[in-house]
Amino acid sequence: MSRPTLARGHGRHYLFPIMTLTLDLTSAQTRAALGANARTPEKPSLVGLSREEMAKALAVAGIPERQRRMRVQQLWHWLYVRGVSDFSQMFNISKDLRSELDRHFTVARPEVVEEQISNDGTRKWLFRFPPRGAGRPVEVETVYIPEEGRGTLCISSQVGCTLTCSFCHTGTQKLVRNLTAEEILAQLLTARDRLGDFPERDTPDGAIVPAEGRKVSNIVMMGMGEPLYNFENVKKALLIASDGDGLSLSKRRITLSTSGVVPEIARTGEEIGVMLAISLHAVRDDLRDAGADQQEVSA
Ligand code: SF4
């Protein structure tokens, strides 16, 4: 008999009936069908690796040392200039090597769970990333705000947050985990896909985007999470986003927004060198502290 239960999903609760499904596991046919549907282990992504890390990954895949530098350059171009998300489209790489790369790695985008578009052209996406190992899939929000002379992408750095700023919805959610450099960059790459912001791509009919230049001209680390509590991954992603041979965003057009993690601010200047925005949501220290309490995070 069906009975109602409570299921969780993206911060909301749904009531739905549970039905019972019985499988005959004594049958070899059923076992074979289950095996075919079992999820294959996740392949590591090449997105978000530094050039040195990518060369090391290629070594593991058996690419000879004398070729690695050139292969890294080719891959970097396909990933970050052309915005390719499938090895089969990397036409200056031999077919055999493309399938070898595909056997070992992925360059796929996250799943787009939801896309909301408002009348002023603002877009909000909900992206789902695969578990990448032992965890479970996670979902994050990314927002695009088009204006007259620029298009700003608001990127998440964590799933949930350790802080509880009183004005912020994410502050009501516990930290699930830090996003990897790949997942931070994937938000930018996928947003550019959806906006037709790579060479030879079309912008969707009716999309509101800046009249000239890049559709995503600026990025702000101001989505879910406190970027300075995920320093290493944010640093890696922003250095790749500003790399002149790839995505090539000017560091003056990248803003890292922090609630004020003071010990990491000098490091941000020295090691990343982007613009910094500090949220001062009250005029006095005691009020600020009350507005941005640290949650207790269970391990
Ligand atoms: S640090 Fe940012 S994401 Fe976290 S609770 Fe404060 S405003 Fe929200």
- Ligand 1 centre to CA of 49 (Å) is 27
SS3 159: strand
Q: From atom 3 of ligand 1, which residue's Cα is the shortest distance away? A: 225
How many angstroms separate the alpha carbon of residue 237 from the centre of ligand 1? 20
pLDDT of residue 297: 35
Same structural domain, 194 and 70: no
pTM of the model: 0.82
Same domain, 116 and 255: yes
For residue 207, the Cα-to-chain-centroid distance in whole angstroms is 22
Among the three residues 77, 104, 131, which one is the final residue of a domain in this structure? 104
- Are residues 143 and 177 both part of a single domain? yes
CA dist., res. 54 & res. 104, Å (int): 12
3-state secondary structure of 19: coil
Do residue 94 and residue 200 come from a single domain? no
How many domains does one find in the chain?
A: 2
Averaged pLDDT for residues 239-255: 98
The string of pLDDT tens digits covering residues 40-50 is: 458 999 999 99
CA of 292 to the centre of ligand 1 (A): 8
Structure confidence at residue 12 (pLDDT):
31
What does the pLDDT read at residue 149? 92
Mutate to test the pocket of ligand 1, among 161, 178, 280, 288 (most ligand atoms within 8 A of CB): 161
Q: Ligand 1 pocket, 117 CB below 6 A? A: no
Parent domain of 175:
111-291
Region at 273 (left for phi over 0; alpha for psi -120 to 50; beta for the rest):
left
Q: Which residue has the higher pLDDT, 22 or 68?
A: 68
Other Cβ atoms less than 10 A from the Cβ of 143: the count is 19
In this structure, are 146 and 128 located in the same domain? yes
Quote the mean pLDDT of the chain. 85
At 154-197, the pLDDT tens digits run: 999 999 988 888 888 888 888 999 999 999 999 999 999 999 99
- Residues with Cβ within 8 Å of 16's Cβ and at least 6 positions away in sequence, in order, are 4, 5, 7
Q: Is 171 in the pocket of ligand 1 (CB under 6 A)?
A: yes
Give the atom of ligand 1 at the shortest distance from the alpha carbon of 171.
Answer: 5
- Interval 22-31: pLDDT, tens: 545 556 555 4
Measured between alpha carbons, how far is 215 from 226 in angstroms, rounded to an integer?
25
Q: How far is the CA of 175 from the centre of ligand 1 (A)?
A: 11
- Ligand 1 close to Cβ of residue 225 (< 6 A): yes
